[in-house]
A = this chain, B = another copy of it.
Amino acid sequence: MKAIIVVGDGLADRPLNSLSGKTPLEAAGKENLDTVAREGICGIMDVIGPGRPPGSDAANLALLGYDALECYRGRGALEALGAGIDVRPGDVAFRGNFAYVDEDGVVVDRRAGRVEGSIFTEYLSEVRLESHPEVEVKVLPTLGHRLAVVLRGEGLSWRISDTDPHRDGMRIKKSMPLDSSQESRRTAEIVNELTRLLGEMMSRHPINRERAERGLPPVNAVLLRGAGEPPAVKPLSEAHGVRGACVAVTPTVRGACRAAGFDLYTAPGATGGVDTDAVSKARVAERILPEYDLVYLHVKGADNASHDGDPELKIRVIEKIDAMVGYLLERIDWDETYMAITADHTTSTRAKEHVGDPVPIALKGPEVRVDEVDSFSERSCARGGLGRIRGKELMPIILDLLGKVEIFGS
């Protein structure tokens, strides 16, 4: 037995006046999603808890079966893991930008003219803090103007604030401890010292003379955000002997799956945006399924449309996901496979943000207790046979269907 979990990012919504009181899911053409609901068992799911809007990072940890309230340690390390960087327990990782700040430390351009940071890879490969020689520092340019920073050493803490002011025109910030521990105070000091050092190093990089000649802004600062340790989790491969694969573009989702011990895949044309080629992801899932017990298929797009407050666009993304599910329905051997369809959180297209309403879930496959729900939506699924469950409960339910959960007791 195998399973495919389809996670539509921000797929669920609240009823919208502009859709005559329907949610985008209720208003969309989604015969394939409805097929899964009709042939399966449905329910609603509080990904973190009732009334608790989940961030994407915490939400995907929950859908992978973890207690996010227990294991969550910030976004930075998940992003770094998702980008393929080696991050270990105890490390503190950050996302960052190459930026341009003026002589007063005010950020003029958070992206330094979208500089291609990979040219600095070699230059930044050996950064050492004289004040803290015991801390190993790794600075790794990733995509475009972005980079990852990993600190390694004893007694570091992820409970510190960003140096990134998150918009232009503001001064670069001092990182501050977010709790009263010695570790957080020390880590904030290290980050401030590192920010000063990286600023110096970037300022004296020869590229800036060349950029000045070409009328480009200098690259003279690094802004850090999202401090995080790897989540405190045991990979599903170890805990349940599950061979898992992740088909996703979003670094955080890839990072959460990597923490769960999954292999990471992407797909041609999958962009992480509303223009993503969802069927391309389905093709990858179809291709790799024979090698795995479980494929976690994450589709971005609906969330972006919600954040933009565009219900029509959200409907179009939902219809794209429906087509993707239709592709799978035609091609997978459903006598041997389970499919779950759900969302990582509800995103209100009116409020343009994540909200705490539960998400719908439909699960089809051999011996599932099929209920009477015949459509996939926030409201129809609330009448389903699964009732109201928690995000962290879905994975055990699926693993149990796969015969991967040991009896508790004897």
The residues of A with any CB-CB pair to B shorter than 8 Å are 14-16, 21, 23, 44, 48-59, 68-69, 72, 74-75, 226, 348, 350-351, 353-357, 367-371, 378-379, 382-383, 385-390, 393, 395-401, 403, 405-410
Contacts and interface: CB of A to CB of B under 8 A. Distances in A.
B57 A410 contact: yes
A55 B15 contact: no
Contacts of A353: 407
Number of this chain's copies in the complex: 2
Nearest to A15: B367
A101 B58 CA distance: 55
Contacts of A48: 408-409
Contacts of A371: 379, 382
B54 A356 contact: no
Nearest to A410: B55
B68 A409 contact: yes
A387 B387 contact: yes
A75 B409 contact: yes
Nearest to A358: B387
A48 B400 CA distance: 13
Most-contacted residue by chain B among A75, A369, A371 (CB, 10 A): A369
Given A14-B369, A385-B379, A54 B408 contact: yes
A378 B369 CA distance: 8
21 contacts: A15-B367, A15-B368, A15-B369, A44-B387, A50-B393, A50-B397, A51-B399, A52-B405, A53-B407, A53-B408, A54-B407, A55-B409, A56-B409, A68-B408, A69-B408, A72-B409, A74-B410, A356-B396, A371-B382, A382-B386, A388-B388
B382 A387 contact: yes
B53 A400 contact: yes
Given A409-B55, A409-B68, A350 B367 contact: yes
A59 B397 contact: no
Nearest to A51: B396
A400 B51 contact: yes
A306 to B, nearest CB: 13
B367 A52 contact: no
Nearest to A390: B50
A32 to B, nearest CB: 22
Nearest to A48: B408
A354 B383 CA distance: 27
A311 to B, nearest CB: 13
